[in-house]
Amino acid sequence: MATVTYDHASRIYPGTERPAVDQLNLHVEDGEFLVLVGPSGCGKSTSLRMLAGLEDVNAGRILIGDRDVTDVQPKDRDIAMVFQNYALYPHMSVADNMGFALKIAGTPKTEIRSRVEEAAKILDLTEYLDRKPKALSGGQRQRVAMGRAIVRQPQVFLMDEPLSNLDAKLRVQTRTQIASLQRRLGVTTVYVTHDQTEALTMGDRIAVLKDGLLQQVGTPREMYDAPANVFVAGFIGSPAMNLGTFSVADGSAHIGQARIPVSRDALASLTPEDNNKITLGFRPEALDIVSASDPSAIPVEVNIVEELGSDAYVYGTLKGGQGELSSPEAGENEVIVRINPRTAPAKGERIHVSIRPGQEHVFSSSSGLRLSNA
């Protein structure tokens, strides 16, 4: 087992000026499950491929343990990679697929068989060892790809969106299996996904990237409760956080007629560039339905109600608002509210909501950086 360290690692593709990965500084602890997450084109897969040796590192370096592997061939890095498309040999049995890398390395047949059978037992593949990949389901093929990585007993597992080709129910089931398997094996794992739900449920820590730049690293709870900037706030969480830019006067943010108190620390952090405005974030579950006479009431006209059984989400339009409110999953001037599904309002109805004290997130309107914990 080993740690993984990106030390100011950058990758610039030929013919481009902007780095795909820019000065990445990241340390993964021994045995840790770290998830790299971000939108398409953010540099997460490139970062993984740099660690695998499949992409050149144009500046900085990468270490596995205390060993600098920046210029080491992929086969000599003692890593095993699980790809999105499984990459199984169709003419080989499951057992031969899982043991192929060991065969190439000249490992004795008895040891190969022993390791393959051990991995198959862990992955519940024992009865499929003599089958060909075409006779397996998508989830079983993914487990074979995992088994091929496990039998190599590497220092580091690298996983590049391994669940993308699975259907929704199987994806939930398989991500649980991968997370529990990693904890049982204790192998350092770097996992790439664009799905923030996967990131929140699987990782010991999450690293969020955007445009090749690392935005924040932390535990799932830290990322959810204290996003470092507006991008992380809008990206982590499902449904997404409501975000709006509002004027500040008399120590409060003005959302229409509602007055939302802003902490003294946040007000003191405002700069002239903020132009006396803040970006306020509040999650759908941080809103309560209140009466219209409440001084903190924000009027919302219901556009649609999403019923999920145990929960319901109202997508509505902010009425009489002063400021720009939006959610990455809703439209402009729209707000998402989590409500009790048994008392869900009807489409076109007007409701009034207020933000629970202490559950708002305050960001600079100019830089997008977090100003305080409240």
Q: Kindly write down the DSSP assignment for every residue of 27-85, as one continuous string.
A: EE-TT-EEEEE-STTSSHHHHHHHHHTSS---EEEEEETTEE-TTS-GGGS-EEEE-TT
Give residue 129's pLDDT: 94
Q: Which of 213, 214, 239, 226 is nearest to 34 (CA)?
A: 214
Q: Would you say 24 and 11 are in contact if contact means Cβ atoms under 8 Å apart?
A: no
pTM for this entry:
0.89
* 255 bridge partner residues: 258
Instruction: Kindly report the number of other CB atoms within 10 A of residue 352's CB atom.
Output: 18
Quick one: 211 and 253 in the same domain? no
One domain, residues 227 and 243: no
Q: Show which of 231, 253, 269 is a domain's final residue.
A: 231
Rounded CA separation 262/270 (Å) = 11
Q: Are residues 265 and 364 in the same domain?
A: yes
Same domain for 34 and 147, yes or no, is yes
Do 30 and 125 fall within a single domain? yes
**CATH code of the domain covering residue 309:** 2.40.50.140
> Do 254 and 205 have their domain in common?
no
Q: Tell me what pLDDT residue 210 has.
A: 96
Query: Is the preceding peptide bond at 239 cis, omega within 30 degrees of 0?
Result: yes
For residue 212, give the CATH number of its domain: 3.40.50.300
Q: How many independent structural domains does the chain possess?
A: 2
Same domain for 245 and 192: no
Q: Is the same domain home to 305 and 250? A: yes
Boundary of a domain, candidates 179, 210, 231: 231
Q: So what's the pLDDT on residue 374?
A: 47
* Cβ-contact 217, 35 below 8 angstroms: no
Q: What is the pLDDT of residue 373?
A: 56
Query: Six-digit token pair at 72?
Result: 């080491």
Quick check: 224 and 67 in contact, CB under 8 A?
no
Predicted local confidence at residue 323, as pLDDT: 56
Same domain, 42 and 123: yes
The domain in which residue 201 lies consists of: 4-231
pLDDT in tens, the chain (374 residues): 699 999 999 999 999 989 999 999 999 999 999 999 999 999 999 999 999 999 999 999 999 999 999 999 998 999 999 988 888 999 999 999 999 989 998 999 999 999 999 999 888 899 999 999 999 988 889 889 989 999 998 999 999 998 888 888 888 888 888 898 899 889 999 999 998 889 999 999 999 999 999 999 999 999 999 999 999 999 998 888 999 888 898 888 888 778 888 888 888 888 899 888 999 999 999 999 999 888 888 889 999 999 988 889 999 988 765 555 655 555 567 899 999 888 889 888 999 999 998 899 999 999 999 986 54
310 CB-contact burial (10 Å; exposed 0-12 / middle 13-18 / buried 19+)? exposed
Q: Which residues of 182-214 are buried (b: 16+ CB within 10 A; e: fewer)?
A: beeeebbbbbbbbbbebbbebbbbbbbbbbbbb
- Find the angle CA(43)-CA(26)-CA(236) to the nearest 5 degrees: 60
Token duo for residue 198: 């996967």
Q: 62 with 204, same domain?
A: yes
Show which of 171, 196, 231 is a domain's final residue.
231
128 and 261 assigned to the same domain: no
Do 190 and 279 lie in one domain? The reply is no
Are 171 and 140 within 8 A, CB to CB?
no
d(CA 353, CA 291): 8
Retrieve residue 165's tokens.
Answer: 């080709």
